[in-house]
Amino acid sequence: MDESTKSAYRHLGLTGYAAIQSISSSLKVGTLNLGTAGHVNTSLKMIATLSEWLGSLMTANVSDFRDFNEEEFWGRHQSICKSYPGYSLDIYKDLFEDCVNHGRGDS
């Protein structure tokens, strides 16, 4: 894997965690009612799933992506997107590809 791809993955990880933080902060305790409880529960499950997925990326970063399986990583992403339709999670793949194509992940 070349350095620009590694940098794009690092950028994805950092940006992804920032997005999770944003989603989390929008789920404020005390603003819940029965109409939103299902949405909050789904959002919390999605946050946990995304955190685990991005965590695997950060683990790979520690080893400089030595044993990183891109196919498995993006297959998991596709599975997450199917599990949480309506959350626009395709944006993670788009962000990564944009970084690779335009060198925006370079550090």
pLDDT tens digits along 2-13: 999 999 999 999
In a domain, 19, yes or no: yes
In a domain, 32, yes or no: no
In a domain, 58, yes or no: yes
Domain count, the chain: 1
DSSP H or E stretch at residue 101: helix 91-102
In a domain, 43, yes or no: yes
Alpha-helical (H) ranges within 34-69 are: 34-62
Measure the CA–CA gap between 58 and 73, rounded to whole angstroms.
12
Confidence at 107, pLDDT banded by 50, 70, 90: very low
- The model's pLDDT over 20-38, given as tens digits with 9 standing for 90+, comes to 877 776 666 555 554 577 7
In a domain, 107, yes or no: no
In a domain, 78, yes or no: yes
Measure the CA–CA gap between 24 and 26, rounded to whole angstroms.
5
- The model's pLDDT over 53-73, given as tens digits with 9 standing for 90+, comes to 999 999 999 999 999 999 999
Q: Which domain holds residue 68?
A: 3-27+37-102
In a domain, 46, yes or no: yes
CB of 107 closer than 8 Å to CB of 10: yes
Measure the CA–CA gap between 25 and 7, rounded to whole angstroms.
27
In a domain, 96, yes or no: yes
Measure the CA–CA gap between 76 and 25, rounded to whole angstroms.
25
